[in-house]
Amino acid sequence: MTKYIGILTAGGDSPGLNAAIRGVGKAVINHYGMQIIGFRDGFRGLMENRTMRLDGGELSGILTRGGTILGTSRDKPHRMPVGDKTLDMTDVIAGHYHDRHLDALVCLGGGGTQKNARRLMEKGLNVITLPKTIDNDVAKTDTTFGFDTALGIATEAIDRLHSTAHSHHRIIVVEIMGHKAGWLALGAGIAGGADVILIPEIPYEVESVAEAIRERSRNGKPFSIVAVAEGAISRQDFEAQLAAKEKKIKGEKMAVSEMQYADHTLRLAKKLELLTGLEARVTILGHLQRGGTPSAADRLLATRLGTACADLINQGHYGVMVAAKGDGTRAVKLEKVAGKIKTVPPDHPWVESARRVGTNLGD
């Protein structure tokens, strides 16, 4: 009996998505003789029954392309904006899955997608996921595709910022994506030789950062690169947030909104200027880190995970995420991944290496 597979990409796009779609698609069609159809724009496309043919030509020439040919969205099956309402559309989605006689649904996404996939699994759908995100924060996998490409882009940015910071005797604070995890800032900061690296997992003291910069000036280097993760937080703000969360738990309205910290990079640069006497500039790398062609490592990883996904579908092994494990892959039950986030352990070898080469981590 021919198997019918649906596939979608959800959450923020990530380099390597097309390589993964191609990996799954070519393996299920050519190797296993199955049929596959794409749903557009994540779970929204499945809810609206909007599809894209993926039966041959569409899977060619996409290995090197950034973004996702299927389109994506951050819409969740159980909280779907429909008109001016937000509705639970999981039953509608399950209905479309059954109407199309699908045997399995492949969801390519990050942490949020793992949770949404689990919800659909609990509705009886045969779901299988692949971990993608530039943040590298999906639990139970060595890494995620997209991370290596973003790491390369952020590292090159830091390389380029060095010469201008040096010429103008400035501090350049470069903000790097990563959501609530510091993998990207830490990795790029180390690879690019940033003088200071600030990540969410290690709340920073601005005075410690300022002193590291002043020390460099005293040693004849009156310029510094500060790589700051978008989720980084000062110890002071961290404690204020904790207090606010405690109040919320006690039933009071949260006094400090998380959004209050959205401009923290700009405020940090201003403070460093005041504390060091050096001029500071801010570079926010933003979506540049997610755009463009995937690195060779991401193409390879996405292809490995995609083809392993096809093998699992062939075996009828569902309700799992295809995780990267060394040179191979392993199937991890969705309940072990959904709702978890992989942050940087404060004693991670990358953290230790950064300290050994004298990088200030703000603590």
Tokens of 326: 């060394």
Q: Which is nearer to ligand F6P, 210 or 285 (CB)?
A: 285
User: Shortest distance, CB of residue 186 to ligand F6P, whole angstroms?
Assistant: 14
Q: Please give the residues from 176 up to 195 whose contact with ligand F6P meets the rule CB under 6 A.
A: 177-179
Q: Which is nearer to ligand F6P, 25 or 178 (CB)?
A: 178
Q: Which residue in 222, 207, 219 sits closest to 272, CA to CA?
A: 207
User: Shortest distance, CB of residue 291 to ligand F6P, whole angstroms?
Assistant: 11
Q: Which is nearer to ligand F6P, 177 or 186 (CB)?
A: 177
Q: Is 294 in the site for ligand F6P (CB under 6 A)?
A: no
- Please state, in angstroms and rounded to a whole number, the distance separating the CA atoms of residues 130 and 107: 7
- Taking residues 104 to 123 in sequence order and writing x for each that binds ligand F6P by CB under 6 A, - otherwise, the string is ------x-------------
Distances (CA, A) of 305 to 3, 220, 283, 302: 19, 49, 34, 5
* Residue 281 contacts residue 228 (beta carbons within 8 Å): no
User: Shortest distance, CB of residue 134 to ligand F6P, whole angstroms?
Assistant: 5
Which amino acid, residue 358?
G
Q: Within its chain, how far is the Cα of 64 from the centroid?
A: 19
Q: What is the DSSP annotation of 265-286?
A: HHHHHHHHHHHHSSEEEEEE-G
Q: Is 132 in the site for ligand F6P (CB under 6 A)?
A: no
Stretch that binds ligand F6P, among 57-65, 132-140, 309-317, 344-352 (CB under 6 A): 132-140
Q: Is 12 in the site for ligand F6P (CB under 6 A)?
A: yes
- Please state, in angstroms and rounded to a whole number, the distance separating the CA atoms of residues 354 and 209: 15
Catalytic residues: 135
Q: Which is nearer to ligand F6P, 80 or 272 (CB)?
A: 80
Return the residue of 41, 48, 75, 135 that touches ligand F6P, per CB under 6 A.
Answer: 135
- Stated as kind and residue range, the H or E segment containing 186 is helix 183-192
- Please state, in angstroms and rounded to a whole number, the distance separating the CA atoms of residues 342 and 139: 5
Using CB atoms, what's the residue nearest to ligand F6P? 177
Q: Please give the residues from 160 up to 179 whose contact with ligand F6P meets the rule CB under 6 A.
A: 177-179
Bridge partners (DSSP) of residue 51 are 39
- Please state, in angstroms and rounded to a whole number, the distance separating the CA atoms of residues 52 and 71: 10
Could you list the residues that contact ligand F6P (CB under 6 A)?
Answer: 12, 110, 133-135, 177-179, 230, 290
